[in-house]
Structure 1
């Protein structure tokens, strides 16, 4: 089973065949490549900060960091905590080019977002993938955020502007850095492409994982300075506070 990272030339039809669950290999009893039992056991987020989605003990709270210094983005929407098996699925999608796993996660994310829209979340005007530096994208062969946008776009009926955001400085990978170093790492790392018409728009950044929020904050600040009316963040998973 293989799914090409091209929304126009896919070789795997997700709607017209009987699926096998990508987690347990049993026949799926849903329209997606995951069975209802495995889906129920995913690490759903639960209580979280109403702004940055940091996992918290109960619902309806705002974390201390967002109270002390509200971020430039308005809201993070994310279905899962970054825990097994979501962490493994994202890693395999991102670093091993397991596109069917990414497609599955993208479809489940679209269900989460559609439910949020039905519950009153403001729907954005456009989706913007978090950009990779050119060198890193050449090495990996694709931008996972770009693929997620391609899969989300028809499901949510939202346009994508894949090239409005650019990563102009190839900074070191963020995964092993602490929060302060991440912020320094991202100074002047991003830019808007000429002709990017973000003024007055509600935009949604799309990425795979939100950790400290430094990348989302840097991009949201850039977009707000360019006149964006609102910036939200959609991602697959949110990491807990270190030690939790």
Structure 2
């Protein structure tokens, strides 16, 4: 017979934002800080770019529908989510990434309950080999693994390959990003995408150039639908 440990011997999780005790039994964040996160709010029903009202499709998606069907992101890319992502991605502070992935999994489960089609598999966006060696890990792969565990979805980290080293996309405009990505990606010979519903996983969606390139590659290989799951969405340049 095992005795229940007294409360003072049980580990207490601290909120990763305010360092106060986390009153959420599932995550290392307190309820007050979770409420104050920059939740996305009204956004385009396709690319998730912030918009002034719910239920709209932005002009860019109306003029040229992207290859992906839908972007799901819980937050705007602003403080403190941007800080947590930076510390996870560039400083190797993995607990921040795991916390955000767990909250994203809850967001997605709610979306599934509301009618969002559930994909058959998750595909992390591949990272350039040189950048991955320097960083030591691919943040998209880690996010996909955590999401896969939380949502009970298979993860195929070897289906997409980055064939060419391209300059970092951060800080570039949409046209330059698209030029960088031409012929940068390929589908692995073992990938089985025909007729499947797949979801790409990345940390932040900015212009959507990378997601669009990969979704187009998958659709041309026979995928029936491609969605994009990410932690945060940036507004378009010039938008409030």
In 1: Cα distance, 2:36 partner to 2:134 partner: 34
Match of 2:153 among 152, 158, 162: 158
Query: Structure 2 residue aligned with 1:219, among 214, 221, 240?
Result: 214
Unaligned segments of structure 1, at least 5 residues: 1-15
> Against the structure 1 CA distance between its residues 190 and 36, is the aligned structure 2 distance closer, same or farther, given a 3 Å change threshold?
same
Give the greater-gyration-radius structure (CA). 2
CA offset digits 1:188-218 (Å, max 9, x no partner): 0000111200111000000000000000000
Q: CA deviation at 1:154?
A: 1.5
Instruction: Provide Cα deviations, 1:159-185, integer angstroms capped at 9, x if missing partner.
Output: 000110011011000002111000001
Over aligned residues, Cα RMSD in angstroms?
Answer: 0.8
Structure 1 partner of 2:7: none
Runs of 4 or more, structure 1, over 3 Å off, are: none
C-alpha deviation, 1:135, in angstroms: 0.9
- Show the counterpart of 1:130: 125
Counterpart for residue 23 of structure 1: 17
Aligned to 1:51: 46
Q: Does 1:93 align with 2:93?
A: no
1:113-152 alignment to 2 at 5 Å? 113-152=108-147
Distance in 1 between the 2:217 and 2:94 partners? 30
Paired position in structure 1 for 2:229: 234
Residue 96 (structure 1) shift: 0.2
Q: Distance in 2 between matches of 1:70 and 1:45?
A: 21
Match of 1:42 in 2: 37
* CA deviation after TM superposition for structure 1 residue 17, in Å: 3.8
SS class of match (1:208): strand
Q: CA deviation at 1:133?
A: 1.0
Superposition TM-score, scaled by structure 1 size: 0.93
Question: TM-score, normalised on structure 2?
Answer: 0.94
Q: 1:60 aligned to 2:58? A: no
SS in 1 for 2:186: strand
Does the C-alpha gap of structure 1 residues 179 and 100 become closer, same or farther in structure 2, counting only changes over 3 Å? same
